[in-house]
Structure formats: C-alpha cells, structure tokens
Amino acid sequence: MEYSDSIHIYLIRHGMTKYNTEKKYLGHTDIPVIQEKLRDYNQLHETLNRIKFDAVYCSDLLRCRQTASFLFGKESIIFDQRLREMHFGDWEGKTYEQLKYEPAYCKWLSDWETECIPNGENWERFKSRIQQFLHEGILLEENRGKTITIVSHGGVIRQIVSGLNDELAFWDVNVKFGEAIVLVINTTGGDFKCTSLSVVPTAENANS
C-alpha cells in the first residue's frame, strides 16, 4: 500500500496528573499535569520533532493542552471538546475503594456499556462523539497521504484504536504515559480500516 493511500494517525495520552497517581476517576475534571512528569515525554518529543505533521488535534482539557504544548510548542493546535475523556459524574475524584460498595457503581462495573454513570456520561454518548470527530475531521478522502496527531485521554485512545481495528477490544489497548501509538489507516475503496498499529519508537523504549 502506498503512503499516499493511507492516513497516519499518532495517538498520544496526556501527561500524568495527581488523580492518576492516586488512582482516582478523572474525566471532565480540569486539573493540570504534574510538571515533573512531562520529562517522561522528552524522548517522544525528540522523535516527533523529526516528523512533519499536517494537523495536531487536542482535547480542550488542561492536561492535554499542557502535553501538546510541551511536545509541539507554538505549532497550530486544534482543540476539540469531543476528544475529552468520559465524564464520570459523581465518581470524579473518587477511587475504587471509595466506590466499591455503591450499588450504582457495582452495576456499572458489571455492565459498563449499558449502565449510566450518575450525573455523568453513558457509553453510547461517549462513543458517538468520538466517532463523529473521526468521521468529520480525520477519516476523509482529503486526508489521504497526511500525518495527523491526536493528544487526548486513555479512554478516547482506546476507543479510537478498537473502533478502527476489528481485532482489538476496548480493554485490549494499552495506553502508556510518555509513549505514542501510530495507526496506518487504509483509505482505498472508502473503507477506513487500520492496517498497522505500533508504538512510536524512541531511544528509551527501543532499549527497554
């Protein structure tokens, strides 16, 4: 397959936050990254500097904006609310240990694709806004041969990857801090499917 027949999509998870270190649910709560943790992206920054990107998209939440700014500097970045993490409603800022005896939480854990989060977002709404973003901005014939970056959240990246790759389920996708996943999307015949998935090589992960 020719490069000109595909779209290359780089997916990057935001830098670590205090909630991440404390294993708290973090969706629409707008907190910053831990500044020292941006050092985890130094190797990725060097690698990405050697690539010409046609567009950089980013969740509008602060932790993603900070990560994108660290990686891409003053390069034009397009912010989009549809790239936000799932809204965890009443569970934002709480841990599994704090929630494990709540009936609504137990029901959601056993059937998270159909159960609703109190004052939060259900699975179908979360999935549909991501699909809308992809079909309106990324999976377009005009993007053939282009290289695009998306800086977003763990859940969003899992949904993008599993939605474009029939062999992977949502929880099969491993999204690490400080790394990027690159997807090669075949555009021939108007059927946008992932034909290649890999972790972006950096000096650090190449030696691990």
Residues marked as catalytic: 14, 85
Is 174 annotated in a binding site? The answer is no
Give me the residues paired with residue 19 across strands. Answer: none
Is 87 annotated in a binding site? The answer is no
CA 157 to chain centre: 3
Is 14 annotated in a binding site? The answer is yes
Is 18 annotated in a binding site? The answer is yes
Helices (H), 49-201: 62-72, 96-99, 103-110, 123-133, 154-164
Joined together, the tokens standing for residue 113 give: 């694709």
Is 153 annotated in a binding site? The answer is no
Cβ density class 30-69: b for 16+ within 10 Å, e for less = eeebbeebbebbebbbebbeeeeeebbbbbebebbbbbbe
Is 16 annotated in a binding site? The answer is yes
Is 49 annotated in a binding site? The answer is no
User: Annotated binding site: which residue ranges?
Assistant: 13-20, 63
User: Annotated binding site for substrate: which residue ranges?
Assistant: 13-20, 63
